[in-house]
Amino acid sequence: MRILAINPGSTSTKFGVYDDLNEVLVKTLRHTVDELYPYPRILDQYEFRKNIIIDSLLEEEISLASLDVVVARGGLIKPIPGGVYKVNDILIDDLKKEILGEHASNLGALIAREIVQSSGKDIDAFIVDPVVVDEMEDIARYSGNPLLPRQSIFHALNQKAVARRYAHDIGVEYKDLNLIVVHLGGGISVGVHKGARVIDVNNGLDGEGPFSPERSGSVPVGALVKLCFSGRFQMVEIRKMITGKGGLVGYFGTNSAQDIEERVQNGDVAAKIIYEAMAYQVAKEIGSCATVLKGKVDAIIITGGLAYSKTLINWITDRVSFISKVIVYPGEDEIHALVEGVYYAHKGEIEIKEYV
């Protein structure tokens, strides 16, 4: 079975082609701030992202007609349990309406459906463990205002994939571990994994938790309210400050942590304090997650593209190693996780669910 897996991220488009579970091709196409600037909304990037995938496949002499199934990272749809879902009209409509907001992962199912329709074959598109996987305990849903409940929006696919990988590596069932999993990417999410469920996690998309390369994370609420009513900004501009132009982009105009790290190595004092502040906030979030598990943490797992940064990892580890051992799986397992999900679903080992 030839599988195309698609993972649109905030700063990259990654895709892979597999024959069953055997990798044929995996590519990561990175996007600079300038490259994405012409698109005011993430949905406006649809044609751009779709075309670069198709063009790259053709360059590798992989035809759409050779595909048997297409799977994509899920987007901001209704909160649902984890699993494999067939892309249907209801799901596509919810993504286009942006019912829970903007995110690059919203493009995944849209592109997958289009490629399926362009293949000339009777095949289906799927999503696996979308970012809205909601397994939070009830107590974690409360904020300090009844009109503002907390939401579960995070890097569910990669967090669950590396948690299972760690469990496999040490010969223990995932459900028997208490883990804190940190995804360091264009956005940052820190999840509490207990009983194979993510019982609490920061909403890294919408202004919660540590700041990241392009997201503000938690900010002083009173100051934000004053900014909103200052008359200086429209709502879309404020939202961009929180997601897209926050974090490192807000301070330096770039989402490239590599560029910031080079500045640090070259003695840029401002770059060092802000880059270290990001690590500091990640460590604080890990500490708060440890309280959810009452200190019984089997491991802290750090993953995502920024986990390749030894500087960042050392700063974080220095502050949290007293809680538990720190395991680093740099990069993302999301493409392989997507492929595994749809492969085992087609073998009948995982239920294919219907989005309603």
Is 72:125 a contact under the CB 8 Å cutoff?
Answer: yes
**Topology given in CATH for the domain delimited by 138-324:** Nucleotidyltransferase; domain 5 (3.30.420)
Residues near 111 by beta carbon (within 8 Å), at least 6 away in sequence: 6, 8, 46, 49, 50, 53, 72
β pairing state of 352-354 and 84-86: parallel
Residues 6+ apart with CB under 8 A from 52: 13, 29
- Residue 11 has what pLDDT? 78
Q: Side chain identity at 130, as an amino acid letter?
A: P
The kind and range of the H/E element at 22 are: strand 22-30
**Kind and range of the H or E run holding 182:** strand 178-184
Alpha-carbon 218 to chain mean position = 17
Q: Which of 175, 253, 178, 181 is nearest to 213 (CA)?
A: 253
Average pLDDT over residues 19-44: 92
- The neighbouring-strand residues paired with 115 are none
Kindly report the backbone phi and psi dihedral angles of residue 85, in degrees, each rounded to the nearest multiple of 5, phi listed first. -125, 135
Q: Give the CATH architecture of domain 2-132+334-354.
A: 2-Layer Sandwich (3.30)
pLDDT at residue 350 in the model: 84
> So what's the pLDDT on residue 349?
82
Confidence band, pLDDT 50/70/90 cuts, at residue 61: very high
pTM of the model: 0.83
Segment 246-265 shows an average pLDDT of 96
Q: How far, in Å, are 11, 74, 114, 192, 295 from residue 128 at the CA level?
A: 20, 6, 18, 20, 31
Q: Where are the domains of the chain?
A: 2-132+334-354, 138-324
Do 192 and 299 form a contact (C-beta atoms < 8 A)? no
CB of 101 within 8 A of CB of 164? Answer: no
Task: Label residues 150-187 b or e (16+ Cβ within 10 Å = b).
Answer: bbbbbbbbbbbbbbbbbbeeeeeebeebbbbbbbbbbb
The tens digit of pLDDT for each residue in 141-192 reads 999 999 999 999 899 989 988 998 899 899 999 999 999 999 999 999 999 9
pLDDT above 90 (res 269): yes
Domains 2-132+334-354 and 138-324 fall in the same CATH topology:
yes
How many alpha carbons lie under 13 Å from residue 322 in its C-beta half-sphere?
A: 5
Using only C-alpha atoms, the chain has a radius of gyration, in whole angstroms, of 20
Structure-block tokens of residue 118: 């362009």
pLDDT of residue 334 exceeding 90: no
Residues ≥6 apart with Cβ < 8 Å to 332: 7, 14, 158, 185, 303, 304, 305
**Joined tokens for residue 248:** 């490192």
